[in-house]
Amino acid sequence: MPALSSSGETLGTGQACSLRVARLFGRGFDSPRLQNFAKRNFVLSEPAFGASRRASGLLICFCYILECVDHSYYVGVSYNPADREREHNAGKGSDWTAARRPVRLAWTEEHLTLSSARKRENQLKGWSRAKKAALVRGSPRLCSGQGL
């Protein structure tokens, strides 16, 4: 979703990053140096083509748990968990899952922002294996991670 400048015109993603940097430093965002800085140092707000969207047009991010062939768990974040599972099974996901293939998608949770999904991911990574297993089985007590 493109950003709007203060004058109401639509900006591209790179320009929106530059505008945020310009506001931060109090300069215009038309400087090529500033635009390059923004592209290198900021995560763009728009994901790659094929990301999940709700009917309202909002991007949906997912926190997910994969179960590996050795019954260990891998926690991650993706805009499309099914595609990410395929990447892991192709050996392109992470070193952990590449050594423990095949993996299966065991659990997902929707988040409205990447930030909240990352917070939930970090929370789950701190949990014991038993606690993650209870979440995968559907323990209602552990399913309250929404809105982090």
The token pair that represents 80 in the structure block: 């499309």
Mean pLDDT of the chain: 76
What whole-number percentage of the chain has pLDDT above 90?
51
What does pTM read for this prediction?
A: 0.61
Identify the residue whose tokens are 């728009």.
Answer: 46
Give the C-alpha separation, 100 to 54, whole Å.
33
What whole-number percentage of the chain has pLDDT above 70?
57
Domain range annotation of the chain: 3-41, 61-142
Superfamily of domain 61-142: GIY-YIG endonuclease (3.40.1440.10)
The region of weakest confidence among 54-58, 86-90, 94-98, 120-124 is: 54-58
Nearest residue to 40 via CA among 21, 27, 59: 21
Sign of the alpha-carbon dihedral angle for 45, 47, 52, 55: positive
Q: Is the peptide bond before 47 cis (omega within 30 degrees of 0)?
A: no
